[in-house]
Amino acid sequence: MIYVKADDLKVGMRLAKPIYNKKGILLYSRNDKITKQGIESVKNFGLIGLYILEPAEPLPPMSEEEIEFERFQTMAVFSLKEDLDNIMNGNKPENLMKQTDELVRRFGSLYHKIHFNQNLRSPEDYVYKHALNVAILAALIANRAGLGIMEKTEVVVAALLHDLGKLSLTPDLCGKTENLDVEEKTKIAKAVISGIDKISNAFQMPSGVKGTLMQLCQFLYLPENAPAKMSDAVKILLVANAYDEYTSMQLGIDPHSEVEAVRMLMKNSELYDPQIVEYLLNSVLILYPGVCVELTNSEKGLVIRENEKNILRPMILGFNTNQVYNLDVDSVHRNIQIKDIMKTMDNRIKVDPERLKEYM
């Protein structure tokens, strides 16, 4: 699978992912050969490029839930873009609360883990895609945390709006998430606070959202002004924001893996509440049966059993030795740990879970 920019697409290339319009209607299925009209549609939609199957490459597996998740993401980003742009222009967002209700309905009542597939971002669409993903994660976490419907609604609204002010920044700073210097943090903080003012002028936010947004901005960019204690909503948003930022895919920037993200969150327990991190790990699939990993002994292996108590210590089948490593056993874990997940360039797992049956 390769990524091809819109200007480099050729008639006859096979699609690795489906293409939907803003209403979620399927335009092109996976494995379809793109036409001249399709290439024009891609450019008209503002897509920066597509994932294309190489000539002899078989179609990689995707579950119905994953396909629906990507369809929903595409549709929701279009809607969110209209609303955020409206607020930036001083107008009322028409669909924001309706979209909030949909997010709470879809993700705020789940008690099974989901495949949280990332989407590729450019500086121009980073804010919209990031805000949506943070809202999805926040809904999942809020449910695990036992929040009521009003609290879930407020945290999802805050997630959708938290980066609004960044739309006024230059593209090079809009999607920058790491190695920010003091001057850059100050610029972002001013933009975010200005965005909160625009929100207040555009429509009546649910009570508590403005305070949550201000507090989140302080903890992210102005920690010297942050209160001694953070609210539950801010705890959720900090974890959801960090996880999506850390694993997001941007042009020219290599994403961190989910394993790296988990380690980062666990390492910074003062900023990222350990209980909220646990709720996140109970909501998204990371090291589940069928995932291919690299081990610290230079061997590659397959996860054959997830560890619900400690996600980083599952049971692994080593490919070279055909040996099973139970990383939950301390004596094994002292010598062998997971180095990272093996990924394809679109940040998907290489090994199909169906292949797991060959080893069982």
pLDDT tens for 215-256 read 999 999 999 989 989 999 999 999 999 999 999 877 667 778
How much is the pTM?
A: 0.87
At 77-100, the pLDDT tens digits run 999 999 999 999 999 999 999 999
Please, what's the largest Cα pairwise distance for the chain? 64
At 345-354, the pLDDT tens digits run 444 444 444 5
Confidence of residue 132 (pLDDT cuts 50, 70, 90): very high
Answer with the residue of higher pLDDT: 179 or 274.
274
pLDDT, position 61: 73
Answer with the residue of higher pLDDT: 119 or 318.
318
Mean per-residue pLDDT of the chain: 89
Q: Which residues of 124-158 are buried (b: 16+ CB within 10 A; e: fewer)?
A: ebbbbbbbbbbbbbbbbbbbbbebeeebbbbbbbb
Answer with the residue of higher pLDDT: 60 or 193.
193
At 304-355, the pLDDT tens digits run 999 999 999 999 999 888 899 999 999 999 999 999 998 654 444 444 445 5
| CA–centroid distance for 148 within its chain | 24
Count of Cβ atoms closer than 10 Å to residue 118 Cβ: 17
Give the amino acid at 75: M
pLDDT, position 97: 95
Cα-based angle 342, 346, 347 (whole degrees, multiple of 5): 40
pLDDT, position 358: 55
